[in-house]
Structure formats: C-alpha cells, structure tokens
Structure 1
C-alpha cells in the first residue's frame, strides 16, 4: 500500500492516478513505514540520466534482526516490526570482518539499500539484487544503485556476515541446528543471510515499485560466489529469474575454482578450522563465543593458516552438492545466466615482467609430466617479453575456456541460455589494466562516483553500452537490444565469447583450437570441486 501526502482531486466521482517520486511519500512495508530521499540533487554531469528526478533511495533498512549475542552463529532471525516511520537517510552498520572503510562496523548489520525510480507501488519494475565482493559493504559508492534505477530497475544491495560470524562450523552448533530446524549441519550463516535478502525482496519490494516475481541476482568475486550459491541452492528454488556472475564460475576441475572466491571447503575442513579458532580465543563452548566482545570476532583469517579459511562449506543443505555434481545432476535454478571475467585477473597481470626462467618455473609448478611441455608448446616464449605475454595469455585463456566449459556443463542439463564475456578496458588513474573489479561501475552506470582516476569521454560511452547489456538482461533475460552489437549465447559448437570494453563483439575463447583442446584434456586429470 502506498501512503501519499499528495491531496487527491476528485472529478465526476473518479480518482485520477497520482504519480510522484516515492521520496514524496511514506511507504508502508510489511515491517513498518519507511521514508526515502532523493538520490540526486541535480543531474549528474556526463551521465545522460533521464529519470534522475524520480530516483529515490532508502538506506539501512533492516532485513533481519541484530546478529549479536544469542543470535550469533544462528540463521538470520526475523526483524521486529516498527510502528513509527523508519528514516532511511543513512547507511546502516556493516558486518564484522567485512574490511570496509565506508561504514561503521557492528553486528546489527543485516540491512538493505533500495534505489527505485518508480512513481507508484503498482509499477512492478524488474529488480536486481547486488552482492558485493570481499572487503565490500553496501555503503561502498562503487555499488550505488541510482544509475541502474534511472533505467527502470529497482536496485537492492545488502550486507551479509563474513569471517567467523559468517562461516563458523562446530559440532555444538550442528546440534543446535538439528534441534531447532532439523538440519544436521552448521556454518554458512553468511550464505543464509544472502538467501534471506532474496526473501526480503520477495516480501517487501512491491512497496518500492518492484516486481517480487522478477528478481535477478548479481555479484562480483565473493559476490559472484554468493550469486552462484543463490543460483544453485534448493532454498532459493523458484525465487529468481536470472543470475549475473562476474569473475566467478569456471570449469569445476580447474584448481583455481578451489582457491578463488567461489571456492568452498568440505565439512571436516571447516569443522577443524572452527575448532582451531575456538581454541585461539580460549572458548570451548558456543556460549563462551556468544559472550565475547565483537572485536575478538572481527577477523578475516587466523594467522599461520593456509589450507582453510572462512568460506562456504559443503553442507548438503544450503549447498546441495559439489559444483560438479550440481551441474551434472541439474540441481540449480533453471534461469538465464550471464557470466565472465576481466582480462587482467586470476593469474594474468597487466604490465607483467618476468624472466623466461620464472615462466618455466611457473609451468612446472602448475602442470605435471608431459603437460609442462605441451603447454609450453601452445604458449611458447624465448625471452622476458614473450614469457610475460605467454604467462598472461595462458591465464586469461584458462578463464575464458574454463567459463565456456562451465557453460557446456550447464547446457547439458538446463534449457536456459548462458552468455559469457571478457572485459578488457582499463579505467583511468590506475596501473593494473582491466583488473579484477574494474568493470563494476560501468555495468552499474554510476560513474558519477569517481573511484579510479577522472573519467574520460570514452568511459562514459563504455558505461552506457555496458549498462544497456546488463539492464536488458535484468529486464528480459537476454542482454541484446536495440543499438547494441549482437551478443550470442553459448552453443555447443561455437567457441566464442563476447568482448566488452575496448571493442564489442564475438572473440575466440583462445587463440587456437589446439589450446582449447589441451585445456579440455588437462582439466579432467585433476580433482573436481
């Protein structure tokens, strides 16, 4: 229900439709009334935002209860409803171990921000939920959703628990879960937060002019892992219509799939890591942990550990199975997927300058037996310059080829299409090239916030195109649209991906078919996750 302060004029006994920006109203949500604010005071320079006057932002709305005290290491609990109007002017707290510098840290951190250009709660605009990368926060200006909202999307970002409060596994917590929710596992509290944010959108977003039956989930790096788990989990079945996974999925046999953000741990590894943590803080019981000061739990990793970390656990509850089995058994939500990588990430480094000896050493540490020579033959080098180029080419191809192979697994069991890409544009003011995270602001159309160097004309042009692909996918489940270079979905017999950034259009996933075949042969010799 929309509660408006506008006076209604009645003519001939009929009420005309009154449309105004939602910041001119107090809106009613299932948890209580909320007041939003204009996202812009004036039209942002260079941005061509045609609906900027209508964009409302609501910040810091709780989607679950405070996670401190007895709520530590529990699934997110229902928030207590409020009667007075919630003033959604300021960002809420960010969770412990998030590493953010954009918000105050605290355990009452499960909150959402919403951007919408709807003029009525009846508009039913498509919705996207953004999951941020490691070290992030929903207060980070790179994840501001007003530029996306300008294009007719309701944009939601949120916080989730990480570090020990997000991932701790212990036998005692498992017994608690078994008694309270009949689940014989623990951990994945942060993942449950992610799922709860999806449910909050389904329950509340109509009040903000969004369509609760049209939710696309989107994230980058650790946020892409969140998106992947939402895509895969039986706990989110039927709740989403699409997924955008940025710097995420790859062939499940690729060893990088275990070490990058989307990696997870087996239950025994997480349980042992949890026991080590409890010993390090002198606690033998969960009750002790729940009494500790928050600062004691505000850690991202334990010193001296390398084989385990605070991350997702294969629990067969939130995560239904291994990545490989989930693909081969077709367990995930059958929805369209858009996924890809940036050119200078996952082992590839812009401006790399290594010796031939270092390159050969890297090959020997990565591959085994005859594969060392075979990869050297496909990615040859004879001096420092060629060694640096070969190392980068090998890692970039490993991403594009591996993502293509992931799509093939997906298509073997699903009817929904997959679009893949490689981002290759380097923002100004930095020296890492088309590095990890550099595509985010372009996709979200928020270059009015300067994070890198001062944006140039080409950056605004690139953002317009990138955002158009993303908006089309969120609205229609397909990135293509008028005025855009055609982006073909993955098909079994075409080994192409889409170049985005410096150029637009199809590009090969590797320089030669023999390189693709070598990866295809090498991956299955390894252990899948």
Structure 2
C-alpha cells in the first residue's frame, strides 16, 4: 500500500510541473535592439474570418520604430538609428504616417515605423517573409495593406512607413557635400533599404526567416521593390521581388511618371532649387529650421509630383537599361504584371472617331497609321474600344519587353501576369484593384464581395504566398481550397508572346498581336532614343 501511495504522490507532483507548449507570439515579450515589444492577437471570436482556420495563431505588432525621427537636423539624412526605450513597448497602434498628399492630419516626421503579422507559435518557426511597400500617397495603416491574409498562409508579412515628397527626394548640392560621399537625394529609398536591413536583422524573433525575404509593392511601391533589386546597398538581403503595376521597358516613354521611374540629376537639382526658392530658403539649414506645415507649402508639394527618386549613382546605381544589360545587384526571381484597365485607360472617357484618330496620331506619330489600320473604328463605341486596346497593347508589350531584357542577363525565372477582374464597384480591372486580392485581405474591406471574390482572392493570395515561400507561384502548398488545384502559371519565355491572365481565365493569353507588339517596340525607341 505504501508503494501505491508513493506512486500516487509522485503522479501528483508530475501533474503540478509546468507544461511548456507553443503559443501565439503575441503572448510573449520580444527583445529588439532598441527594447522589448509586445503585440496582440490579430483577431478575436467576433471578427475572425470564417474561412481562416488558423486565425487564433496570428499575432500583429504595429508601430515599432525602425529608425529615428526624420525631423529637425535629421531632415534629408539617411535614416538614423532608432532610440532605445525603457520597459516594454505595447505595439498595438500604427505609428503616425509620413507626410504625403493623402496623409490627412495624422502625420509626423517621426514616422519610420514597421508593422508585422506573423502566424508563428515559436521564434524558431523560420517562416518566409514579405516586405510590402505602399503606393504613392499611401500609408501603412490602410486596410489595403492588412497583413493577416498573408499570415494565414504561413507568411510573415511586414508593412512600414517611408518618406515621400520633398522630405524623401529633395536633391541639392549642399546635401551632397554634407553627405561626405558626394551623394544627394533618395532619402525615401534609403528608408526602404533600411527597413529591409531591419527586417533581416530582427525578423527571426517574430518567427521569420531572415534568409527568405521577398520585397513587394504596387505602383510606387512596385518601384520601391525594383529599386531594392537594383541597389548595391541592399545586396544579399532579398531572395525575390513582387512588382505590381510598376516595371516597364526602359525605352517606354510612359515610364516617366510611373511607379518605378526616376529623374536625372540635373532635372532633380533644378526642381529642388525651385522648391527652396519658393520658401525663401538660401541653405539647407534654412530649410531645416522651417516648421513642417510651412515646408509643405513649397512649390511642388501640392501634389508631390516632381519629387521622385533620382539617378544618383549610389542608391540607384545605373540607368535601368544598364542594370538590365549588366545584371542587377540582386539577381532574384521576379513576379511582375499589370492591370487590364490602368495606365492611361480611363473607362469613363469615350472617343468619337475623329477624337480617337487625332489622339492616336498625336501620341504615336509615324506609327499611328499602322495602329489605326489594325484598329479601325466607324462609331464611338468602336473608337473607344480601339483606343483602349492600343493603350493595353503598349502596357503589355512594355512589361513583356522588360521581362525579356531581364532574362538575357539572369537565369532566375520571371513570372508575368495581367489582372483582368473588375471588383464590385469598379468599372474594370483598374489601377490597384488587385492588391486586396493578392494580399488576401477582403475581410478588412467594405465592398460587397461575393463567393466569387473570395475564391479569386484565395487563388491570387496563394500565388503570392507560394512565390514568397519558394519563388515559384505554383509551389508552396498555400492553396487548400476544395475547388480544385491552382492553374499552372509558367515562367516567362522570351520566345512566347504571352502573359498569364489572373482573375478571369487563369491561363496564358497573348500580350498583344505580333504586329502590335512590334509596332510598340519600334515606337518606344522612337519616343525615347536615350532610355531611362
């Protein structure tokens, strides 16, 4: 009996011992170089999407500083080290946005913060990572960039704020002298590179794999991804890039003013000097003394148009054509594409036959007659459709040509798509309409989505998550729907005149007719004899 009693007593002791089990990371305090942080659950019982089986595992950290304030003497300097803090930072709220034309009232120069969504239950999860850059005028707290959809597919998702407008791209000789390396401009790009370094150094603590980072973004954010691919300052930090609506052939005249463009140094210097003169500033010190609201009244700040990345042969090391011909600093797989109804296509505008013909002639010059012969029109409906078809042929040809140029110096695959689905409330597959589908966050939006939308989002976000995991949109196990398997999306083959339709047919389709493509390629070289 005594032996039996001892066994019972021993069992009781064992039952009282703590049992170590994995749990969502929001329950833990995480150490960063600047201090401790703690996040929170991304969902609760009342707001969790019914189709997201692992919602209880998803943690989110918002507003973690990755660099110091960019105000005062830090204006127009590379991002400086973030200050340390005492205690534990409760990372429950997004940081203030960087000033932009759409930032509203909640902005500050102390804005360089990062947000993380992770499904990891252990800091040793070693999950792949997607760093996503918002479009021009955007901010990381927009629901468009909610990262729990990617996290639900076992990807650690990172969004962040970066400088824009004059605070990001001011280019002045005095700043070049001050730098010590004769470099000026691209402070916003330096933010984008700095957050990539921060993620590389810290993401393991949040369950991410620092050796499996993909950068992505849409429009201007697509340009950020491409600049990181090309920049020697980010060499070795990334394993892939996703560029939604942003990368074009270097000869394409429509590259100027698009998401991935840049300015030459003389243009940027002149534009920046006009800005300084408009504020009666004769030195950088004068500009740094101005309060933020006054600074944002300078010439060029009403729309932020004109303040853009600059070819400074440092953070942007070469013209695009040179980087394509000689090879980028980061030779990585790329997923790139366009939307069917963007980049000059205005679905609310109609053209009569005369307007259509005169517009094509004024735009395409000696190549207009060939395009008009391929797209004849005898009434307003035909003229409008013909105009949009010509614009679309140029869009598709441009990105297809970029992909072919890339493939000549890289053995890494490039996946090329055309988004063709018109979401509820949209007239077409407009600029930016694919983002919430690609990131799988329809649950965070207000549109009246149907089951069709959710299925499209499941496929789209599975391609994106697979690419982050394996650099191949077809492999990675992200699509677990009962509606079949993901349609096979082949990598770009230069000899093929095709792209991959996302949202409608889910298959390869022609980018344009062979005749249209050849005309567009000739037109590009005519319009831009000295390419970007």
Q: TM-score range, shorter-chain basis?
A: over 0.9
Post-superposition CA distance 1:282-309 (Å, at most 9, x none): 1101111111111123369627999x71
- What is the alpha-carbon distance in structure 2 between the residues aligned to residue 11 and residue 493 of structure 1? 68
1:186-218 deviation per Cα after TM superposition (whole angstroms, max 9, x unaligned): 010000000001001011111101011110000
**In structure 1, which of residues 75, 78, 84 is the aligned counterpart of residue 78 of structure 2?**
75
Q: How far apart are the structure 2 equivalents of 1:303 and 1:140?
A: 22
Q: What are the residue-to-residue correspondences of 1:40-119 with 2, within 5 Å?
A: 40-42=43-45, 44=47, 48-101=51-104, 104-119=106-121
C-alpha distance 290-441 of structure 1, shift in aligned 2 (>3 A): same
Q: Deviations over 1:2-61 (max 9, x none)?
A: xxxxxxx9979x997520011111111222110100110127576511110011110000
Deviations 1:320-342 (A, max 9, x none): 11111110111341110000011
1:474, 1:305 → 2: CA distance? 34
Alignment of 1:347-358 (within 5 A): 347-358=344-355
Structure-to-structure mapping, 1:171-210, within 5 angstroms: 171-178=173-180, 183-210=181-208
Residue 125 (structure 1) shift: 0.5
Residue among 368, 371, 374 paired with 1:375 = 371
CA contact (8 A) 2:229 2:328 kept: no
CA distance in 1: counterparts of 2:303 and 2:33, whole angstroms: 44
Q: 1:425-504 maps to which residues of 2 (within 5 A)?
A: 425-430=421-426, 432-451=427-446, 453-481=447-475, 483-504=485-506
Displacement of 1:503 after TM fit?
Answer: 2.0
- Counterparts of 1:400 and 1:167 in 2: how far apart (Å)? 29
Give the conservation status (yes or no) of the 8 Å contact 1:163–1:299.
Answer: no
CA RMSD of aligned residues (A): 2.1
CA drift of 1:104 comes to: 1.1
Change (3 A) 1:144 1:303: closer
| Separation in 2, partners of 1:335, 1:190 | 23
Aligned partners of 2:22, 2:351: CA distance in 1, in Å? Answer: 61
Determine helix, strand or coil for the equivalent of 1:313.
coil
How far apart in 1 are the matches of 2:183 and 2:221? 23
Aligned with 1:363: secondary structure?
Answer: helix
3-state DSSP of counterpart to 2:202: helix
State the Cα distance separating 1:454 from its structure 2 match. 1.1
CA distance in 2, matches of 1:202, 1:332: 17
- Residue 365 of structure 2 aligns to a residue whose secondary structure is coil
Who is 2:276 aligned against?
278
The SS at the match of 2:81 is coil
Query: Is 2:466–2:472's contact at 8 Å kept on the other side of the alignment?
Result: yes
What is the CA-CA distance between 1:518 and the residue it aligns to? Answer: 1.5
In 2, distance between residues paired with 1:135 and 1:390? 32
Aligned length: 510
- SS in structure 2 at match of 1:206: helix
Q: C-alpha separation between the residues in 1 aligned to 2:337 and 2:360?
A: 25
What SS does the aligned partner of 2:371 have? helix
Q: 1:241 to 1:495 in 2, by over 3 A?
A: same
Rounded Cα–Cα distance in structure 2 between residues aligned with 1:149 and 1:495? 35
* Contact 1:265/1:313 (<8 A) preserved: yes
For residue 3 of structure 1, what is the aligned residue in structure 2?
none
Kept in 2, the 8 Å contact 1:47–1:447? The answer is no
**Kept in 1: contact 2:247–2:259 (CA 8 A):** no
In 2, distance between residues paired with 1:305 and 1:65? 26
SS of residue paired to 1:213? strand
CA drift of 1:526 comes to 2.9
Shift of 1:227: 0.7
C-alpha displacement at 1:97, in angstroms? 2.0
